[in-house]
Chains A and B, each alone.
Chain A
Amino acid sequence: AQTVTQSQPEMSVQEAETVTLSCTYDTSESDYYLFWYKQPPSRQMILVIRQEAYKQQNATENRFSVNFQKAAKSFSLKISDSQLGDAAMYFCAYRRADNSGGGADGLTFGKGTHLIIQP
């Protein structure tokens, strides 16, 4: 079974600075997807960024980028120019690729990292 580990329960960063959230995972699959979700106090899950395992290029979405190391099974999220609105819980998540057979898969989440933005 796949597992997702986030070893940082809480991180704090000054506004406008850069912060990196760590995530490691374990799987025997060769094709899969990795995600970072943001959960603000409203508890609505918001997709931040998505990475397909077969793509070597790291995904980027504006101020958010990932460092995907497939061999090391590492998937960290870098937030540049941190803003007050970035404060939230961040969850790393895994899903098997759609062509893995056995039907659709739900997401496996890490325990989350609480990101605090210091003004």
Chain B
Amino acid sequence: GAVVSQHPSWVICKSGTSVKIECRSLDFQATTMFWYRQFPKQSLMLMATSNEGSKATYEQGVEKDKFLINHASLTLSTLTVTSAHPEDSSFYICSARALNYEQYFGPGTRLTVT
């Protein structure tokens, strides 16, 4: 149980375009999901907290207009990187908080902006 999926696992997009990443909790409901970013050989940094039915909370220094988060249902949160630039290339990982308060991680999405 407690499986989280992400789609796509790897995406390449051109500079200036937008790309959407999905995070799904497959066998449990998650009122809260978290989005992290991991640069190569670095740690995970929390970007934002996504709450079902309400606006996301962004960490300091994260541009909310660039990283749009929508948590429209109890099993799905999406992260849209708008007007992507090469410096947005990174590994994006989501986690979903279950009713037992534990957080379960998705497998991550590798974004490459050319």
Footprint of B on A, CB under 8 Å? 42-45, 91, 95, 98, 103-112
Contact = CB atoms under 8 A, between A and B. Distances in A.
A43 B49 contact: no
Contact of B46 (A44, A108, A112): A108
Contact of B43 (A43, A44, A103, A110): A110
Contacts of B44: 45, 91, 107, 109
Interface of B: 32, 34, 36, 38, 42-46, 49, 51, 57, 91, 93, 95, 97, 101, 103, 105, 107-108
A98 B93 contact: no
Leading 7 A-B pairs by shortest Cβ distance: A45-B105, A106-B46, A106-B34, A104-B32, A109-B43, A98-B101, A109-B44
Contacts of B101: 98, 104
A110 to B, nearest CB: 6
B94 to A, nearest CB: 10
Given A104-B49, A106-B36, A91 B43 contact: yes
B36 to A, nearest CB: 7
Nearest to B105: A45
A46 B49 CA distance: 20
A98 B97 CA distance: 11
Contacts of A98: 101
A98 B71 CA distance: 21
Contact of B49 (A42, A44, A106, A108): A106
Nearest to B30: A104
18 contacts: A43-B107, A44-B105, A44-B107, A45-B44, A91-B43, A95-B103, A105-B49, A106-B34, A106-B46, A106-B49, A107-B44, A107-B46, A108-B46, A109-B44, A109-B45, A110-B43, A112-B42, A112-B43
